[in-house]
């Protein structure tokens, strides 16, 4: 791997910028383990988010895969463009990933593989942004805060269970692969990190009539997670409609499965179709 670091304007090594949530991975053993997990092939189409100082990018490029990298930091983007100058398989996009449209890469259905050490302050918005295009994505391998991944994989009756896990599990298979110590980064983050793989379902095991209704139901329920569903879902259902729900509304939001939430959201969708102005 190349070991030269991007310079700053004064010629010194690039300093991590707190406003971008930058923590640069430097532990070679961790890097190699992540690369082995991704197992990129020459015929893959990869999208790397936040390549930073190219800790993963160099090895991903060595696979021969087509590689697009989205980097917000202008100095790092300039460094990366210079680093991969002449490599026609690597393209650097200096852009906010939340404004980046994966469709511009023209991937085949379920053909795009996404990787990245996501800034922890925007990790959830980035993932939900990508899930808008879940039909284009084969898998996503991310470095995230361990606490976030614990929420992603949680099931009913788990204190970590909530909106994030439910919505991700609706669209994807979620796997917590391994943890990464803070010593693997510069500067050291104050939290433990971990690697997660999200694999969008090719055939949905559960299909809500309206995924937007599912999102609304889940968000509303967990806005008041200590209340019973009879109380937390009051903004969405009248007393009469609540009585028709095929669930026990005396339960709390964390007691329901994803399948239960799909049933509730389908009922909401039916009610909205019967009364579109209400």
The domain spanning residue 251 has which CATH number?
A: 1.10.8.100
Which residue, 156, 176, 200, sits at the end of a domain?
200
**Could you tell me if 215 and 258 are in contact, meaning their C-beta atoms sit under 8 angstroms apart?**
no
Confidence of residue 24 (pLDDT cuts 50, 70, 90): confident
**What is the rounded average pLDDT for all residues in the chain?**
90
Strand partners, 90: 67
**Could you tell me if 107 and 134 are in contact, meaning their C-beta atoms sit under 8 angstroms apart?**
no
Which residue, 153, 174, 200, sits at the end of a domain?
200
Residue 237: inside a domain: yes
Residue 3: inside a domain: no
Residue 160: inside a domain: yes
23 CB contacts (<8 Å, ≥6 apart)?
Answer: 16, 117, 185, 186, 187, 188, 189
Segment 255-267 mean pLDDT? 97
Q: Can you give the residue range of the structural domain that contains 46?
A: 18-200
**pTM flag (> 0.85):** yes
Alpha carbons 117 and 142: distance in angstroms, whole number: 6
In this predicted structure, the answer to whether residue 75 has a pLDDT above a threshold of 60 is yes
Q: Indicate the pairing of strand 112-117 with strand 90-94.
A: unpaired
Residues 155-164: tens digit of each pLDDT: 999 999 999 9
Distance of CA 72 to the CA centre of its chain: 17
Longest CA span, the chain: 69
Residue 126: inside a domain: yes
Residue 8: inside a domain: no
Looking at the fold, whether 253 and 187 belong to one and the same domain comes out as no
Looking at the fold, whether 149 and 60 belong to one and the same domain comes out as yes
Residues 93-144: tens digit of each pLDDT: 999 999 999 999 999 999 999 999 887 788 999 999 999 999 999 999 999 9
Tokens of 137: 């994505």
Looking at the fold, whether 191 and 227 belong to one and the same domain comes out as no
The domain spanning residue 95 has which CATH number?
A: 3.40.50.150
Number of domains observed in the structure of the chain? 2
Nearest residue to 84 (alpha-carbon basis) of 96, 76, 72: 76
Tokens of 151: 């929420």
Alpha carbons 171 and 140: distance in angstroms, whole number: 12
Residue 205: inside a domain: no
Beta strands in the chain (DSSP E): 24-25, 45-49, 66-71, 90-94, 112-117, 137-145, 172-180, 185-186, 193-200
Confidence of residue 3 (pLDDT cuts 50, 70, 90): very low
pLDDT at 121: 82
In this predicted structure, the answer to whether residue 17 has a pLDDT above a threshold of 70 is no
122 CB contacts (<8 Å, ≥6 apart)?
Answer: 21, 98
Alpha carbons 249 and 230: distance in angstroms, whole number: 5
Alpha carbons 146 and 195: distance in angstroms, whole number: 8
Segment 159-188 mean pLDDT? 93
Which residue, 171, 200, 229, sits at the end of a domain?
200
Looking at the fold, whether 68 and 175 belong to one and the same domain comes out as yes
List Cα–Cα distances, 121 to 23, 68, 98, 238, in angstroms. Answer: 12, 22, 13, 37
Looking at the fold, whether 65 and 96 belong to one and the same domain comes out as yes
């Amino acid at each position: 791997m190349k070991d030269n670091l991007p310079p700053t304007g004064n010629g010194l090594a690039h300093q991590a910028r707190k406003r971008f949530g930058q923590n640069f991975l430097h532990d070679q053993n961790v890097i190699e383990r992540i690369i082995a997990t991704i197992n990129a092939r020459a015929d893959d189409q990869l999208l790397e988010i936040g390549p930073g100082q190219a800790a993963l990018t160099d090895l991903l490029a060595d696979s021969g895969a087509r590689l697009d990298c989205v980097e917000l930091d202008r100095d790092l983007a300039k460094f990366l463009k210079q680093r991969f100058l002449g490599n026609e398989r690597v393209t650097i996009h200096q852009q906010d990933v939340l404004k980046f449209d994966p469709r511009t890469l023209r991937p085949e259905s379920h053909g795009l593989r996404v990787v990245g050490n996501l800034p922890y302050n925007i990790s959830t918005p980035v993932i939900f942004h990508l899930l808008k295009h879940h039909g284009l994505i084969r898998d996503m391998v991310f470095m995230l805060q361990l606490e976030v991944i614990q929420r992603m994989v949680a099931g009913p009756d788990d204190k970590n269970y909530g909106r994030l896990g439910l919505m991700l599990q609706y669209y994807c298979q979620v796997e917590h692969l391994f943890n990464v110590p803070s010593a693997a980064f510069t500067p050291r983050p104050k939290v433990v990190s971990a690697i997660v793989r999200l694999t969008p379902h090719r055939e949905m095991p559960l299909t809500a009539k309206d995924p937007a209704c599912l999102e609304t139901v889940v968000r509303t329920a967990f806005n008041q997670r200590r209340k019973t569903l009879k109380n937390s879902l009051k903004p969405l259902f009248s007393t009469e409609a609540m009585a028709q729900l095929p669930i026990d509304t005396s339960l709390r939001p964390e007691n329901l499965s994803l399948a239960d939430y799909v049933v509730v959201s389908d009922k909401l969708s039916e009610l909205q179709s019967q009364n579109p102005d209400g």
